[in-house]
Amino acid sequence: MPVGLKELPVLHSVPGVRLGTAAAGIRKQDRRDLVVIECAPGTKTAAVFTKNRFCAAPVIVAREHLAKGAPGALLINTGFANAGTGAPGLEDARACCAALAQRLGCARHEILPFSTGVIGERLPVERVIAGFPACLANLSELGWADAAAGIMTTDTVPKGASRQFTFGGKTVTVTGIAKGAGMIRPDMATMLAFVATDAAVAQSALQAALVAAVNISFNRITVDGDTSTNDACVLLASGRAENPEILIPQGTGYEALAHAVAEVCTELAQAIVRDAEGATKFITIEVNGGASVADCLEVAYTIAHSPLVKTAFFASDPNWGRILAAIGRAPISNLDVNAVTVHLDDVCVVRRGALDPGYAEARGRAAMAKPEITMRVDLGAGAARARVWTSDLSHEYVRINAEYRS
């Protein structure tokens, strides 16, 4: 069961953005697996993509198409990632774009493709195209919840978030959906995330808001340390709110928009960790007292990626020696081990590099037994700080990934 996740919150519609979902039988029958997100004319688009050098064909094509202008629609399929498929994979992605463009009456480059699922297998183009009529028939500004379900793979629940704020006397909406549960250690965004707003905003300000949000949300989570070949995060802005246009990445309007986008992205990112494959714990790792934010992040991720630490969390075992070992091998240039302090929630386990004299094992076990835990590490080297969210490593994670292609 996901840790602390409830039903989808209310997802406010975004005027100018319609979503349609269908069960196209792309890999499995009788499940929603195809989504079209239609953008009104004039919609601006910001995007960030994976830095994995084996990036998927749809990532390559989406980048190419974005360079030619704003999209008219986004096309998302689950089941097959269309990654590691070489030139034929590019042909498949482009064929799907061309077929959807023909139905929508736009140019092929106005379609942005996104795929998620099994790596290394060809996309069943005929099945994807056959699902278009149902997707287009279902297009609706109210289609967010269905789309959140339609982009899932090993996710156990759909993930969505929504915020509204007022600027210039107009209500502005930001709504987003995401998918991801494994192969999560983003290096730009998560596996797939789609966020939209009706704000009137210039392209440069929109891109700045997305990058800032991604850097404190999707780029601060990890489940297993694996960056996907298909990671993409898109932010659409239809401009239908009719607010005073936000022209530059500063000022009251920009700050309000950036804050709302960051909140939506953070809620989605945390939902991915809460629904991580086989997760029983949602863990916040806060590293304070660093010489730089980069040092703090290196320490946080070294702890979060340690299989020994993650399995200790699964067992509710306050094995503080594993934590110290992870801190000690973090790739930072200077570390005074005698200055390090570690807390599990409010329980001080390590002080000045050794077991705290007041520590009691029972208190440590009680802290580790909670479904949500905060580990605080103080490096005693400066004023920098950083936060990362992660999960434990369970038997179920191994089972899910061992059986993923079966």
**What is the C-alpha separation between 81 and 129, in angstroms, rounded?**
16
Residue 341, annotated ligand binder?
Answer: no
One-letter amino acid for residue 109 of the chain: H
- Cβ atoms within 10 A of the Cβ of 140, count? 15
Residue 197, annotated ligand binder?
Answer: no
- Residue 217, token pair as written in the block: 């949300």
Active site residue 374: no
Among residues 78, 85, 175, 190, the one annotated as catalytic is 190
Residue 170, annotated ligand binder?
Answer: no
Residue 401, annotated ligand binder?
Answer: yes
- Torsion, Cα 117 266 71 38, to 10 degrees, reads 80
**What is the C-alpha separation between 103 and 74, in angstroms, rounded?**
13
**What is the C-alpha separation between 60 and 57, in angstroms, rounded?**
5
Residue 153, annotated ligand binder?
Answer: yes
Query: Phi/psi at 403 (nearest 5 deg)?
Result: -105, 5
Asked if residues 40 and 225 have their Cβ atoms less than 8 Å apart, the reply is no
One-letter amino acid for residue 158 of the chain: P
Determine the length of the chain. 406
- Residue 149, token pair as written in the block: 């379900």
- Residue ranges for the binding site? 153, 179, 190, 277, 401, 406
- Residue ranges for the binding site for substrate? 153, 179, 190, 277, 401, 406
Residues with active-site annotation: 190
